[in-house]
């Protein structure tokens, strides 16, 4: 009964904080951390120790899966280089530098253990991005931070495993590199297979509740096999989520996706809140454990402050270099756009670009070579079975590149975005859980675990508590292309044009008056009244009209998926358009039932 009461109280506390915190202008996760610290400090509360496998294997997989499913694949692809730089190179460099600092502060600490501490502290946390989203920052910054936090766990955990294994034995750099490559490659393959199987199976499961229930076990179906094979279970979960999120509009029905979205939002709220609450609850117990073993809280605090400072400085250097590189690339945008426009004009005349043209410079030739490789890859997937289809593939590739240029120019990173990228690199539950995986006989284990917890709590409270204020002072909140009315009108016109085209060629089986009603509805000329089922004839006519509407919605959804692949509209706007189509379809299907 005691456990049940605690669970009920925790859920009610989470709901209360999520409702009240925004009203006072404070991020709910920060309130939960403070509440956890306060509850754990009460005399009537026993010391709380959280098993690390509960967080790493029980809470993080569904959280990362939910985040990956909702990650805009278009923006993720566009900034994949930047995300990879932060999630691999920055984590590795930070782990080594923080390890050297820890050894300097604690002379008796072996270098391997110091690097293990660096690997624990280096990765930003996916759960911590809840604070970033609530700050109302631009979607591109959110995507970079979220993508980094989803992928950097593989780097950190491989480094942690290698550093611990290196204690007393020699481990070469090649061994660490091969371990990392296996962890990522095998996990990505497992996640891809699980994601595709998830879509294939659920597309054939008729009851919506049964299909949505399957989604609850998908994160663990990806995580467990990867971990058993020595790969990164978290990367497998992220890959499965990305595959599912990209393919679900084509494979799953509207009611199914809306039901799943609501369910996972509830799960995400509970699990995210639980993580922040657990971080606060466990911190006092870690401090007590360190004191009992003769350690000093001052030394743990010094290590935590030093490691946090170094992590922020290194992140600042990487972000500054990345912003400079992006600015240099953006300066080439007019030249690249001119070249792509020339290719587009030749494609309109039926001419496919060829390699080895003497008229092109080396840079232009490399650009064409990349387009050729992309077109050939698409052709191998079956997209180019004729000359006309080959031209269509090229046109899609060029249009996609042009849309990428427009997006990167509209959402360009400057020094203000760089400041937010630096300050948004908070640590969280992964840091606390990874620290507790250190073997029990590790030298200065209590010191390291407490230092990691202090880094996590400190960055959440200090950086998380000021991130919204900082973004607002820099003028980075409330400016989003997702709500641009001109772009929204253009997107709706393209969707309606696709539906009208299908009306012209594939709908001869429907009476002309129904087709005209549907055409008027698409043109938004007059509101279309639904038929009243007051006679068998009207019932039959209503059924036909609803089938016609569903076919038009299917045409619009197909066009929306094609537009998503091109990237000519913001992902948030595309999500809103998809939600609108889903709502229309559900309304029709419910009335039909």
pLDDT in tens, 22-40: 787 777 777 888 888 888 8
Cβ atoms within 10 Å of 160's Cβ, excluding its own: 23
What's the confidence (pLDDT) of residue 101? 93
Q: 522 near 548, Cβ under 8 Å?
A: no
Confidence of residue 348 (pLDDT cuts 50, 70, 90): confident
Q: Which helix (H) or strand (E) holds 267?
A: helix 254-292
Q: What is the pLDDT of residue 369?
A: 59
Distance between CA atoms of residues 48 and 39, nearest Å: 11
Q: Decide: 252 and 203 in contact? Cβ < 8 Å.
A: yes
What is the mean pLDDT of the segment spanning 409-419? 86
Closest CA to 73 of 586, 578, 584: 578
Query: Given this model, what pLDDT does residue 532 score?
Result: 47
Q: Rounded to whole angstroms, what are the CA distances from 340 to 178, 327, 346, 411, 572?
A: 39, 20, 10, 20, 26
Split at pLDDT 50, 70, 90, the class of 362 is: low
Q: How far is CA 97 from CA 78, 89, 93, 143, 504, in A?
A: 30, 12, 6, 27, 65
pLDDT at position 319 over 80: yes
Cα 226 to chain centroid, rounded: 20
The answer for residues whose C-beta is within 8 angstroms of residue 8's C-beta and 6 or more apart is none
How far is residue 38 CA from its own chain's centroid?
Answer: 32
pLDDT at 43 over 90: no
Q: Does residue 462 or residue 489 have the better pLDDT?
A: 462
pLDDT of residue 433: 76
Alpha carbon distance 30, 27 (integer Å): 6
φ and ψ at 533, to 5 degrees? -80, 60
Sequence ranges of the domains in the chain = 2-326+415-478, 334-410, 485-592
Write down the pLDDT at residue 425.
87
- The conformational region for residue 230 under phi > 0 = left, psi -120 to 50 = alpha, else beta, is left
How many percent of the chain have pLDDT more than 70?
A: 83
For Cα atoms 11, 15, 20, give the angle at the middle one, nearest 5 degrees. 145
Residues 6 or more apart whose CB falls under 8 angstroms from that of 69 comprise 241, 242, 244, 245, 248, 264
Average pLDDT over residues 35-53: 77
Q: What does the pLDDT look like over 554-593, one tens digit per residue?
A: 888 888 888 888 888 888 888 888 888 888 888 887 666 5
CB 297 within 8 A of CB 287: yes
- Distances in Å between the alpha carbon of 24 and those of 15, 19, 532? 15, 10, 49
Query: DSSP label at 87?
Result: I
Q: Provide the 3-class DSSP secondary structure of residue 137.
A: strand
So what's the pLDDT on residue 224? 94
**Rounded mean pLDDT, 56-83:** 86
**Per-residue pLDDT at 320:** 94
Q: Are 357 and 346 in contact (CB under 8 A)?
A: no
Residue 526, pLDDT score: 35
Number of residues in the chain: 593
Architecture (CATH level 2) of domain 2-326+415-478: Up-down Bundle (1.20)
Q: Report how far residue 239's alpha carbon sits from residue 289's, in angstroms, rounded to the nearest whole number.
A: 38
Cβ distance 416 to 140 under 8 Å? no
DSSP state of 169: S
d(CA 126, CA 55): 12
Q: Is the pLDDT of residue 258 over 50?
A: yes
Any bridge partners for residue 477, and if so which?
137
Question: What pLDDT is recorded for position 529?
Answer: 41
* pLDDT above 50: residue 134: yes
As a whole number, mean pLDDT of residues 444-462 equals 85
In the numeric block, which tokens belong to residue 251?
């494979």
Average pLDDT value over all residues in the chain: 80
C-alpha–C-alpha distance, residues 195 and 242, integer Å: 8
Least confident of 28-42, 119-133, 409-423: 119-133
Higher pLDDT, 411 or 193: 193
Confidence band, pLDDT 50/70/90 cuts, at residue 171: low
């Amino acid at each position: 009964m005691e456990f049940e009461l605690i669970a009920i109280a925790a859920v009610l506390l989470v709901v209360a904080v999520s409702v009240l915190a925004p009203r006072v202008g404070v991020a709910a996760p920060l309130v939960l951390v403070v509440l956890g610290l306060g509850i754990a400090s009460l005399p009537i509360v026993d010391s709380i120790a959280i098993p690390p496998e509960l967080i790493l294997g029980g809470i993080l997989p569904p959280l990362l899966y939910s985040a990956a499913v909702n990650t805009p694949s278009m923006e993720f692809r566009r900034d994949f280089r930047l995300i990879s730089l932060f999630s691999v190179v920055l984590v590795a460099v930070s782990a080594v530098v923080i390890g050297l600092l820890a050894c300097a502060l604690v002379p008796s600490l072996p270098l391997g253990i110091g690097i293990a501490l660096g690997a624990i502290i280096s990765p930003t946390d996916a759960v911590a991005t809840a604070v970033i989203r609530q700050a109302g920052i631009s979607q591109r910054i959110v995507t970079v931070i979220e993508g980094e936090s989803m992928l950097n766990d593989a780097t950190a955990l491989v480094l942690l495993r290698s550093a611990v294994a290196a204690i007393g034995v020699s481990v070469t750099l090649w061994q660490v590199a091969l371990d990392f490559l296996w962890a990522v490659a095998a996990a990505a393959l497992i996640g891809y297979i699980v994601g595709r199987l998830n879509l294939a199976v659920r597309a054939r499961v008729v009851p919506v509740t049964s299909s949505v229930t399957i989604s609850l076990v998908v994160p663990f179906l990806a995580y467990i096999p990867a971990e058993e094979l020595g790969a990164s279970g978290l990367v497998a979960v992220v890959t499965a989520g990305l595959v599912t999120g990209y393919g679900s509009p084509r494979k799953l029905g509207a009611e199914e996706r809306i039901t799943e979205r609501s369910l996972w939002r509830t799960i995400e709220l509970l699990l995210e809140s639980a993580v922040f609450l657990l971080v606060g609850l466990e911190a006092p117990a870690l401090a007590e454990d360190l004191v009992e073993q003769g350690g000093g809280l001052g030394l743990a605090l010094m290590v935590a402050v030093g490691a946090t400072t170094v992590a922020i400085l290194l992140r600042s250097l990487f972000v500054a270099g990345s912003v400079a590189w992006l600015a240099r690339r953006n300066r080439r945008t007019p030249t690249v756009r001119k070249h792509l426009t020339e290719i587009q004009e030749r494609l309109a005349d039926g001419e496919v670009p060829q390699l080895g043209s003497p008229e092109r410079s080396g840079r232009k030739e490399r650009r064409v070579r990349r387009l050729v490789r992309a077109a050939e890859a698409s052709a191998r997937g079956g997209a180019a079975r004729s000359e006309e289809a080959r031209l269509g593939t090229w046109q899609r590739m060029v249009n996609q590149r042009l849309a990428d240029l427009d997006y990167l120019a509209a959402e360009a990173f400057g020094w203000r975005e760089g400041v937010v990228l630096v300050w948004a690199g908070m640590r969280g539950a992964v840091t606390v859980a990874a620290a507790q995986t250190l073997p029990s006989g590790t030298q200065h284990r209590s010191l390291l675990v407490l230092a990691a917890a202090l880094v996590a709590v400190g960055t959440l409270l200090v950086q998380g508590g000021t991130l919204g204020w900082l973004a607002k002072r820099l003028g980075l909140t409330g400016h989003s292309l997702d709500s641009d009315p001109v772009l929204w009108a253009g997107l709706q016109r393209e969707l309606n044009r696709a539906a009208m085209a299908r009306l012209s060629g594939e709908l001869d089986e429907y009476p002309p008056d129904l087709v005209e009603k549907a055409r008027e509805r698409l043109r938004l000329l007059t509101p279309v009244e639904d038929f009243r089922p007051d006679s068998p004839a009207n019932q039959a006519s209503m059924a036909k009209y609803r089938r016609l509407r569903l076919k038009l919605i299917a045409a619009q959804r197909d066009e929306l998926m094609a537009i998503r692949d091109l990237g000519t509209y913001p992902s948030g706007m595309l999500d809103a358009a998809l939600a609108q189509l889903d709502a229309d379809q559900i309304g029709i299907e419910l009335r039909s039932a």
